[in-house]
């Protein structure tokens, strides 16, 4: 059984996945890292610049497909996995999907002006993306955790409580 974290950029998926994997003695998998490995590029920015977003999404599909073989892991996804139904279908086959619900204000504060997130260069466009994706995260989530005004430990504890009955 895997725990799969979805949510917008800056919602805390990566940092909480680290904490959860330690607390539950599960393997930590970051989909963005797997995509970079598969691409042969240095980082995500380089994939977007040289190969384009479409190629990036293709690589995400490939990674999600391979993850069906994975067990006993906490998987932090990239914020855009919900735009590809097939990725969600693959992920659903391998575990419970938890949505990190975070307001755009909080995300803006957490991320500032990130250099490594090609889709968060412009606040207006990022907000549009955020609004478009909210119903998708909501639809695909089996559990929802509100992350505003909570620290990492509080979020991790809340998840542990919520998944108790499901694992
Ligand atoms: C993206 C989110 C990023 C990364 C890529 C695209 C998105 O991951 O996959 O920059 O489309 O929202 P994080 O959510 O970990 O920042």
Q: Work out the percent of the chain whose per-residue pLDDT is above 70.
A: 98
The sign one gets for the Cα dihedral 132, 137, 138, 144 is negative
Residue 70: strand, helix, or coil: coil
Alpha carbon nearest to ligand 1 atom 2, residue: 79
Atom 3 in ligand 1: which residue has the minimum CA distance?
Answer: 78
Whether 31 shows a pLDDT value over 70: the answer reads: yes
Confidence of residue 83 (pLDDT cuts 50, 70, 90): very high
What average pLDDT does the structure give for the chain? Answer: 95
3-state helix, strand, coil in the chain (%, to 5): 60, 15, 25
Q: Is residue 167's pLDDT more than 80?
A: no
Q: Is 114 in the pocket of ligand 1 (CB under 6 A)?
A: no
Inter-CA distances, 78 with 29, 85, 90, 154, Å: 11, 14, 14, 22
The residue whose CA has the least distance to atom 9 of ligand 1 is: 78
Which pLDDT belongs to residue 32?
Answer: 98
Residue-wise pLDDT for 42-78, tens only, equals 999 999 999 999 999 999 999 999 999 999 999 999 9
pLDDT in tens, 119-164: 999 999 999 999 999 999 999 999 999 999 999 999 999 999 998 8
> Quick one: CA dihedral 64, 66, 70, 74, positive or negative?
negative
Cα separation, 82 vs 78, in Å, equals: 9
Please give the model's pTM, rounded to 2 decimal places. Answer: 0.96
Q: What is the pLDDT of residue 116?
A: 87
């Amino acid at each position: 059984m895997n725990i799969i974290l979805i949510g917008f950029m800056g919602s805390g998926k990566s940092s909480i996945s680290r904490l959860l994997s330690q607390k539950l003695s599960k393997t930590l998998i970051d989909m963005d890292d797997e995509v970079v490995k598969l691409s042969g590029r240095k980082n995500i920015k380089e994939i977007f610049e040289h190969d384009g977003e479409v190629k990036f999404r293709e690589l995400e599909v490939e990674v999600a497909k391979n993850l069906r073989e994975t067990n006993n892991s906490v998987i932090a996804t990239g914020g855009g996995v919900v735009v590809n139904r097939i990725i969600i279908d693959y992920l659903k086959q391998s575990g419970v999907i938890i949505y990190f619900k975070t307001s755009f204000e909080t995300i803006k504060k957490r991320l500032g002006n990130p250099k490594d997130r090609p889709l968060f260069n412009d606040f207006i466009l990022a907000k549009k993306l955020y609004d478009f994706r909210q119903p998708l995260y909501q639809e695909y989530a089996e559990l929802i955790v509100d992350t505003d005004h909570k620290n990492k430990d509080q979020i991790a504890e809340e998840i542990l409580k919520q998944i108790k009955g499901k694992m």
